[in-house]
Amino acid sequence: MKTVRTKKSLSRLSRSWHEAGQSVALVPTMGYLHEGHLSLVRLARKKADRVVVSVFVNPTQFGPNEDFAKYPRDEKRDFALLAAEGVDAVFAPTPQEMYGADATVRVVESSLSKTMCGAFRPIHFSGVMTVVLKLFNASRCDVAVFGEKDAQQLSVIRRMVRDLDVPVKIVGAPLVREADGLARSSRNVYLSEGERARALSLSAGLDKAREDWLRGNESAARAVATVRKAIGKKADKIDYVVAVDPDTLEPVAKLERGTLVAVAAWFGSTRLIDNHFLRR
Ligand code: PAF
């Protein structure tokens, strides 16, 4: 596995693969890898001849009072995990390499990125889209894989690619859970034992709403109420529970196959997200 630190060397490497007739998949991550990330890598392997994983804690997607400084990092462990997966190259730039000191351009989306997490994290998706577009440009990837765990991020990136004619195929990968149902997240390490136990209410609530739908419930309001009731007093604060169209992120009245039921809630000082795309 090659370790690449500059955008220029990544572009050069990708160009050499393309010249040899090989396609390139990118898996963007912020590191501190877990089984969820590794499942994205395995899917990327099926989609292209070469796999690049970026490991970059992107400062522009964190608000001033968010966890950028304390976001967990372990480059050595990440690289070992990626090498074991047979990844072709890991791209791990510094913030200075990624962003010019006098950069003044950001990608802005004016609808999907304003709801759900965007209503609580106003600059987040602009930072995500900007870094993702820069990673696409540096890696010259043909395909990029993102987890459905970050369902809103996936919708926003699909919209960016559509509206800016970005020639990259976006692939969504299913959310991966711990054995007890907690959605895998690098932020789970912040949880105390008690908070972690209470956080299981997220998957429990979403499961209940899905089972209710499978039994015939079509009311989105009822699904939202079911999730809210399950999380109830277990969470310290609920940011939102929604049932939305996965493409537009507009609230729906009637549940359908593919409807996104999503939640964000706080357990202590940790904000967790979770979701179900309604499937049989
Ligand atoms: O999902 C993440 O880890 C990040 O938002 C991403 C896509 C790597 C951009 O920094």
58 CA closest ligand 1 atom index: 10
- Amino acid symbol at 82: L
DSSP, collapsed to helix, strand or coil, labels residue 131 as helix
Q: At what angle are helices 124-139 and 7-19 packed, to 10 degrees?
A: 50
193 — pLDDT class (breaks 50, 70, 90): very high
Element housing 152 (H / E): helix 151-163
Mean pLDDT score, 252-273:
98
Q: How far apart are the first and last CA of the chain?
A: 39
pTM: 0.97
* Rounded distance between C-alpha atoms, residue 52 and residue 9, angstroms: 13
Nearest CA to ligand 1 atom 7: 28
User: How many angstroms from the chain centroid is the CA of residue 199?
Assistant: 19
Element housing 91 (H / E): strand 89-91
Q: Strand 237-244 and strand 260-267: pairing?
A: antiparallel
88 within 8 A of 2, measured Cβ to Cβ: yes
pLDDT over 90 (residue 28): yes
Q: What is the pLDDT of residues 116-155, one digit of tens each?
A: 999 999 999 999 999 999 999 999 999 999 999 999 999 9
Cα angle 65, 69, 74 (rounded to 5 degrees) comes to 145
Q: What is the pLDDT of residues 154-187, one digit of tens each?
A: 999 999 999 999 999 999 999 999 999 999 999 9
Is residue 37 part of the annotated active site? The answer reads yes
* Rounded distance between C-alpha atoms, residue 168 and residue 151, angstroms: 18
* Rounded distance between C-alpha atoms, residue 120 and residue 130, angstroms: 19
- Residue 128 Cα to ligand 1 midpoint, Å, equals 6
Of the listed 18, 34, 37, 276, which one is catalytic? 37
Nearest CA to ligand 1 atom 9: 128
Nearest CA to ligand 1 atom 2: 29
Q: What is the pLDDT of residues 217-237, one digit of tens each?
A: 999 999 999 999 999 999 999
- Tell me the CATH number for domain 186-275: 3.30.1300.10
Q: Could you tell me the fold of the domain covering 2-173?
A: Rossmann fold (3.40.50)
Q: Strand 260-267 and strand 270-277: pairing?
A: antiparallel
Pocket of ligand 1 (CB under 6 A): 28-30, 58, 61, 128, 131-132, 150, 153
Domain map (residue ranges) of the chain: 2-173, 186-275
Give how far Cα 98 sits from Cα of 135, 137, 205, 221, Å. Answer: 9, 11, 40, 43
pLDDT over 90 (residue 280): no
Give the bridge partners for 147, in sequence order.
173
